Chain A
Amino acid sequence: DIQLTQSPSFLSASEGDRVTITCRASQGISGSLAWYQQKPGKAPKLLIYAASTLQSGVPSRFSGGGSGTEFTLTISSLQPEDFAIYYCQQLNSYPLTFGQGTRLEIK
């Protein structure tokens, strides 16, 4: 199984900050990576797929990059509604796996 490790697991930042979350895969997954945002009591929401393609309707302050084994999710200028938990997911091979999550909190 492909393991995904996100770093950091916890991130404290202020409104307006630029933040980057990293997702590392235990083996190469080409560009088959998605990023999701989850708020308390809600279902995950797709932000990015194919490593760098912004889902329709998602603000352009979100961007994704990387390939192979290292991927990033960047939020260019944090807004109040961005404080949530973020997960990466590999869709290169089954079983599909998720990272452990990164909790983004207000400083």
Chain B
Amino acid sequence: EVQLLESGGGLVQPGGSLRLSCAASGFTFSTYAMSWARQAPGKGLEWVSVISNSAYTRLYADSVMGRFTISRDNSKNTVYLEMNGLRAEDTAVYYCARGGQSTGRFDPWGQGTLVTVSS
């Protein structure tokens, strides 16, 4: 079964940092692009970042450019999202998902991890 499991969310103060992880299983991780998306409380979905299968290409939404860094470790079947300079507006459930433009879809999605930025 294809599965994605996020971890690393929590409460952080404005300006703080957090590192999210997404562990993949059930498929050949190294052959897929991986994405992060988020959903603020009661709001819609927002794409955050994508990393190609080889990590050669990394793209970001304007809202997180320069503050967030996506990376992956194909030996550990894990994708990461390093978040620095966190703001209240970054408060959201963060989802990792398999795919991007190259696959034409996000499937599956992880269960999500909640990041709360508050003093």
Contact = CB atoms under 8 A, between A and B. Distances in A.
A94 B46 contact: no
A93 interface: yes
A92 B100 CA distance: 10
Given A87-B44, A101-B44, A92 B101 contact: yes
Per DSSP, chain B at the interface is: loop
A43 B101 contact: no
Interface in B76-119: 95, 100-101, 103-112
A96 B109 contact: no
Contacts of B46: 98
Contacts of A101: 44-45
A28 interface: no
A44 B106 contact: yes
B61 interface: yes
B105 A96 contact: no
Q: For chain A, which range describes its interface: under 10, 10 to 19, 20 to 34, or 35 or more residues?
A: 20 to 34
Contacts of B112: 43
Interface in A27-46: 32, 34, 36, 42-46
Contact of A50 (B50, B100, B104, B107): B104
B43 to A, nearest CB: 9
Q: For chain B, which range describes its interface: under 10, 10 to 19, 20 to 34, or 35 or more residues?
A: 20 to 34
Given A34-B106, A46-B106, A55-B107, A95 B45 contact: no
A91 interface: yes
Given A43-B112, A44-B45, A94 B59 contact: yes
Contact of A46 (B47, B59, B95, B107): B107
Contact of A32 (B35, B104, B107): B104
A91 B100 contact: yes
A93 B118 CA distance: 33
Given A43-B110, A44-B109, A91 B61 contact: no
Interface of A: 32, 34, 36, 42-46, 49-50, 55, 87, 89, 91-101
Interface of B: 35, 44-47, 50, 59, 61-62, 95, 100-101, 103-112
